[in-house]
Structure formats: structure tokens, C-alpha cells
Amino acid sequence: MSYIRYKNKNLFVEGVSVKSLTSKLSTPFYLYSKSNIAENYKSFFNNFKKSNPLICFSVKANSNIQILKVLKKMGSGADVVSGGELLKAIKSGIKPNKIVFSGVGKSEDEIKLAIRKKILLINVESENEAILINKIAGGLKKKIAIGIRLNPDINAPTHKKISTGKAEDKFGLSKTNLISFCLNIKKLKNLKLNAISVHIGSQILSENPFKKTLKVLEEIIEKTKIYFKFVDLGGGFGITYKKNDKKINLKSYSNLVDKFKKKYDCNIIFEPGRAILGNTAILVTKVQYLKKGSNKTFAILNAGMNDFMRTALYDAVHNIIPVVKNNKKNKGPLEFVGPICETTCKFVKYNKYQKLNQSDYVAISDVGAYGASLSSNYNTKPLIAEIIINKSKARIIRKKQDIKSLLKQ
């Protein structure tokens, strides 16, 4: 069920008409559906129900504490990649024993914080990181649970800037290095090797690379004879942004995961981000100006790449839909662009679109993951508001940033 849909030409999020919000709140703003988040979480869990996984929501996809609270209530843990994300996850009520910490460059302070908070796993990404954790743990007279991240050298078809599992990518250890790390782990006396983790990239729409990864994990377990307590299979499950995107079918992968779990008697962890949040939000924005170009019309929005970065960074296509539909046609092609002084501050171009007027409202779709969390103050613009809808109630979960806070330095 889609919680973001039209009722008689008017765009609604759950029981609230977007138009009614634009008359009360200044645009642009992010607008989420709480039920959609809860439903996505449930449906992700149900896909893998047989293996009863711990789901650690990838906080980098959306780090708003109120959203983390919604997920926490559903039973989610957290995958974090910084001390800040770790503190946010804890503040939202997620128990440290459901938190895993990934990332290639954890600082000493971040490692100490993770140890102090007694999180489930620090997913180590290099031998030298393990040596540092071992040293810190020794100083604190503690034995620390770690996971070791594998780089399986698997090419998962996705945008080249969000692939993480190929040999040339900086993440994890190669199969050979990981095996020798495992066989020498006893030397690092203050570490417990509790897990193996892997994450091969993001927005992956085929299940094959995930299946191949599972094979590499089997090979490692067979070779090392280390039966890890946890196997963290990462995130990366894609969503359909474009009409032609093929929906990923997780059924057969899920069966393989279940067999794997039974064979090696391990606990399964997943770290989805986009699959839980991606389609749960729109970015509501106003057509500030219409401008005739030589072969198209520019619809200049009041939201830009500072507010929503995915298009500028990854050439991602996000549909822009009208807040109120009409039956009239725009003359010629139309390109939606933002106000930031960069050529890449543009969103999407349509050959056909409905008639638009200045001050009309439109919504950039599928912005719940890596939308607000990737936004910035570029061009000294304040961060925009985030609002969540629960049935017929709207609640501000991040206020628009006060411009004064940008004038301090």
C-alpha cells in the first residue's frame, strides 16, 4: 500500500493533503509517512523471517532521532559509522547490544566511545584498526567483540560511486587477507572475533551479487573453520526509483540465507537503509520562477542540491510530481532545477509535463533515504524542516535551521 498518493488530483501523505500543509508551512520541507516506514520495516523483516535476523537500520540513510525512534519501536537496531550516529542511535532508545559500528576510518575517540557504550560489534575494516582496538581494549582491561569486514571482490551492478565490494574499493579486507587475519587473531588477546560482515554496495536491484557474496562467506568459514556467532550481511537492497527499475526479488536469496544460518548455526544481521526509508518521503518545494530557455522551460524550484544532493552526486533520477494535478499540458520540454549556483543543481527533465505556473508546489519523490542526511549549508542556506505524518497528524521533527546559527563564523 502506498501512503503517498493522489485523492481527486490532490497529493496526500496518509490522511493529510500536501496542499493544506503548504498554506501553513514555508517550503521547502521533507515530508515523511510514519506508516510507510513501519510497513517497510515489517516487510523487510518478513522477507527474512525464517532466519529471524537482527535488523540494524543504517543510520546514515536517515539520522533524524524521531525517525530512529519509530524504527526502535519496531525492534530495529542500528548500523552506525561515526560517534555522532552512535550517540543519536542511543539517544533514540536503541539498545547498545543492537548496534554495530562500521567504517574504514574510526578515530581513537570513536573506538573508545563504542567500547564505553558496550555495543554489539565493532566491524573492523583493516588489520591496523584491529591492532588499535586491541591496544585500547588492553588499556581498559576489556575484551572487545569485533566483526571483520570482508571485501568479496564482487561487482554489484549499481552506480559506480556507491559500489563498495570490489577489490579496488577501500572497504573491508580481501578474502586472502581476511583468512590470514582470522588465523592470526589469537595474537590480539583483547579481541573476540564474533562476526564476519560484508556490504557490497547500495541500490542493488539484482539478488545475484548477494547470493555470490554468501558463497564467498561459506568458502571462508570452510577454510578457517571459524564458526562466527554473527554473520552481518549488510544492506544495499535497491528500490524502484524509475518506472523501468526491476523490483528486487528477495525470496530465493532469503531461502539461501536461511540454509546458511542453519548450516553454520549463526545469527544473521542486516543493515538496510534505503529499503526502509527510501520511498517514505517527498520533498515539497515551490516553483519560484519559470524561465524560457532556448529549447526548454526551466522550472526553478526553491529546493536545491544543498537540500537534496542525490541527483547532483550520482545523477540519480527522482520523479517530481505536482501537488495538485491538472489536465492542461505544458508547452515543450520542462527541466526542474534548483537555486544553487552550480550547473549540477538540477533535478529532472520531462518532455511532457502538466501546465505549471509560478508559485505552484511540486514534490520530489522517494527522498526518505540519503535526502535530509546528505543535505548541507552550501551557499549558506539553512537546513530545511522535516515533518512526519501519522494518519491525519503532522509533526515537525526538525525545525528549519535558524539563519542566525549560520552567522556565527
Of 147, 165, 236, 338, which lies in the binding site for ligand LLP, with binding defined by CB under 6 A?
Answer: 236
The answer to whether residue 61 forms part of the interface with ligand LLP (CB under 6 A) is yes
Q: Could you write out the DSSP letters of every residue in 133-154? A: HHHHHHHTT--EEEEEEE----
**How far is Cα 100 from Cα 198, in angstroms, rounded to an integer?**
12
The answer to whether residue 350 forms part of the interface with ligand LLP (CB under 6 A) is no
The answer to whether residue 199 forms part of the interface with ligand LLP (CB under 6 A) is yes
Smallest gap from residue 159 Cβ to ligand LLP (A): 7
**How far is Cα 386 from Cα 391, in angstroms, rounded to an integer?**
16
C-alpha cell at 167: 577489490
Of 22, 35, 58, 285, which lies in the binding site for ligand LLP, with binding defined by CB under 6 A?
Answer: 58
Residue at 25: amino acid letter:
L
Nearer residue to ligand LLP within complex by CB, 78 or 137? 78
Region near ligand LLP per CB under 6 A, out of 2-10, 131-139, 140-148, 233-241:
233-241
The answer to whether residue 99 forms part of the interface with ligand LLP (CB under 6 A) is no
* Cα-based distances in Å from 269 to 49, 70, 147, 208, 218: 12, 19, 11, 19, 16
The answer to whether residue 272 forms part of the interface with ligand LLP (CB under 6 A) is yes
Region near ligand LLP per CB under 6 A, out of 22-30, 58-66, 214-222, 324-332:
58-66
Nearer residue to ligand LLP within complex by CB, 16 or 276? 276
Q: Which residues contact 19 (CB under 8 A, 6 or more apart)?
A: 10, 11, 323, 324, 361
**Contact of 401 with 27, CB cutoff 8 Å:** no
The answer to whether residue 237 forms part of the interface with ligand LLP (CB under 6 A) is yes
Smallest gap from residue 123 Cβ to ligand LLP (A): 7
What residues act catalytically? 341
C-alpha cell at 276: 526502509
Smallest gap from residue 146 Cβ to ligand LLP (A): 15
Hey, what's the torsion of the CAs at 169, 172, 174, 178, to 10 degrees?
Answer: 170
Q: Please list every residue from 303 through 332 that binds ligand LLP, using CB under 6 A.
A: 310, 314
C-alpha cell at 369: 533515504
Of 53, 152, 234, 304, which lies in the binding site for ligand LLP, with binding defined by CB under 6 A?
Answer: 234
| Cβ neighbour number for residue 139 with a 10 Å cutoff | 11
C-alpha cell at 287: 516553483
Region near ligand LLP per CB under 6 A, out of 54-62, 83-91, 243-251, 296-304:
54-62
Of 72, 98, 274, 381, which lies in the binding site for ligand LLP, with binding defined by CB under 6 A?
Answer: 274
Beta strands (DSSP E) in 262-399 are: 267-270, 281-292, 297-301, 320-322, 334-337, 346-350, 361-364, 385-390, 393-398
| Cβ neighbour number for residue 23 with a 10 Å cutoff | 8
The answer to whether residue 241 forms part of the interface with ligand LLP (CB under 6 A) is no
**How far is Cα 385 from Cα 51, in angstroms, rounded to an integer?**
38
Smallest gap from residue 202 Cβ to ligand LLP (A): 3
Smallest gap from residue 398 Cβ to ligand LLP (A): 19
State the number of binding residues for ligand LLP (CB under 6 A): 23
**How far is Cα 41 from Cα 63, in angstroms, rounded to an integer?**
16
The answer to whether residue 289 forms part of the interface with ligand LLP (CB under 6 A) is no
The answer to whether residue 175 forms part of the interface with ligand LLP (CB under 6 A) is no
Q: Could you tell me which residues are beta bridge partners of residue 79?
A: 58, 100
The answer to whether residue 275 forms part of the interface with ligand LLP (CB under 6 A) is yes
Nearer residue to ligand LLP within complex by CB, 209 or 273? 273
Q: Choose among 44, 14, 50: nearest CA to 31.
A: 14
C-alpha cell at 45: 523483516
Nearer residue to ligand LLP within complex by CB, 14 or 271? 271
The answer to whether residue 271 forms part of the interface with ligand LLP (CB under 6 A) is yes
Nearer residue to ligand LLP within complex by CB, 152 or 273? 273
Nearer residue to ligand LLP within complex by CB, 14 or 366? 366
Region near ligand LLP per CB under 6 A, out of 11-19, 53-61, 181-189, 345-353:
53-61
Q: Could you write out the DSSP letters of every residue in 102-139? A: --TT--HHHHHHHHHTT-SEEEE-SHHHHHHHHHHHHH
Residues that bind ligand LLP (CB under 6 A): 58, 60-61, 79, 102, 162, 199, 202-203, 234-237, 271-275, 310, 314, 369-370, 374
